[in-house]
Amino acid sequence: MGFQKSDGSKWKFPVSDAQAYRQMGNAVVVPVVRALARLIRPFIIESTKHHGRERPESMQSILLY
């Protein structure tokens, strides 16, 4: 497992794959998460309409963001 360096060699993580995935997952920057949320928001809203479910209160504030 690893990422390509500019010279073509690979980065190595001296931890298990699971731990490396956790560390990389924590490295996602906030603007990327916001952009993804904006993209999936209409689908979440539409899905709840089609299934006749009400959104929980906790989700209301998220979808307004």
Residue 46, judged by CB atoms within 10 A of its CB (0-12, 13-18, 19+), counts as exposed
Q: Is the pLDDT of residue 28 over 70?
A: yes
Query: What confidence tens digit (pLDDT) does each residue in 33-52 have?
Result: 899 999 998 888 888 776 66
8 Å CB contact between 44 and 64: no
Query: What confidence tens digit (pLDDT) does each residue in 49-62 have?
Result: 766 666 666 665 55
Residue 1 is predicted with a pLDDT of: 40
Residue 60 is predicted with a pLDDT of: 58
Segment (H or E) for 9: none
8 Å CB contact between 63 and 41: yes
Q: Could you give the CA distance from residue 63 to residue 46 in angstroms, rounded to a whole number?
A: 12
Domain boundaries, the chain: 29-64
For the four alpha carbons of 9, 12, 18 and 23, in that order, the dihedral sign comes to negative
